[in-house]
Amino acid sequence: MQKCIRNDGSVDETSLLLDMRSIPNKGGCFVWSTWGCGTDMTRVSKIEFDFDFAQCQDIWTAPLWITPEVWLDPGGTSGEIDFLEMCPVGSVATNFGAGGQPGESQMQWGSGAGPNGPKHMSMTFDRSGNLRSTICNLDRTTGCFDGARYDSFMNRITSKNNHHFVSDVWNGYGGDGGWYGCGARHNEGTNCHYAIMNIRVHTFDGSSLYSGACAAMNGGQYGHNNQYGANSTWIV
């Protein structure tokens, strides 16, 4: 995976880019993760990012998700959040590891072929632990709609103090329950490509969650310092 370049030539240190069209052997698993950027979800008020993807209707991929340090069954209380996941294959959805928990509403909201132009996702967490998501056009004001939600999310999950961002493509011949549940399949002909940019994580009190190489993801306090611009070079 690669990083994205902004229009001014600078590197977006919060970004990732994967283009299966440029990979000769597309079989196997392709994974990017921020294992050095632990996220204490009890402090998080908002996670937001820009995204675009294309031709991902024929493969199981999760362009961006976040996994708990300790993943325990059932999936719906593990703390996993799949911001963008082609599950079931052919669609794009926001999921929570698995459905069926009280107050949980996973959502298929588009086609894996593409979201009709770059989009911005924001996911908020209130002090009661409720999770809400919104998807808008890149200007953050038009084309907005309510996405997946999970009432009392923070009170139900079993691991919450050390989450990590992940992006992956699973293009093998079998796997776990997710592989079969999402209708995954091996596809050497996939041309799936996607880009994630401007990942920002805000806290309730405005303090920084990250340091060092991870500090670029610090977003300050939700409601303040949350305009970063979206001038970027998109590949899709």
CATH of the domain at 109: 2.60.120
In a domain, 226, yes or no: no
Model pLDDT for residues 61-97, shown as the tens digit of each residue: 999 999 999 999 999 999 999 999 999 999 999 999 9
In a domain, 165, yes or no: yes
In a domain, 230, yes or no: no
Residue 225 has pLDDT above 70, yes or no: no
In a domain, 33, yes or no: yes
In a domain, 63, yes or no: yes
In a domain, 227, yes or no: no
Say how far apart CA 162 and CA 176 lie, in whole Å.
Answer: 23
CB 152 within 8 A of CB 130: yes
Q: Percentage of residues in the chain with pLDDT exceeding 90?
A: 79
Model pLDDT for residues 24-66, shown as the tens digit of each residue: 999 998 999 988 899 999 999 999 999 999 999 999 999 999 9
Q: What are the distances in angstroms from CA 155 to CA 4, 127, 175?
A: 36, 10, 30
pTM for the structure as a whole: 0.92
CB atoms within 10 A of CB 163: 25
In a domain, 10, yes or no: yes
Rounded mean pLDDT, 150-166? 97
CB 114 within 8 A of CB 55: yes
Please give the pLDDT value at position 226: 36
In a domain, 233, yes or no: no
> 3-class DSSP state for residue 179?
helix
Please give the pLDDT value at position 176: 80
Which domain, by its residues, includes 106?
Answer: 2-221
Task: Say if residue 49 is exposed, middle or buried (CB neighbours under 10 Å; 0-12, 13-18, 19+).
Answer: buried
Strands 218-221 and 193-203, sheet pairing: parallel
Structural domains counted in the chain: 1
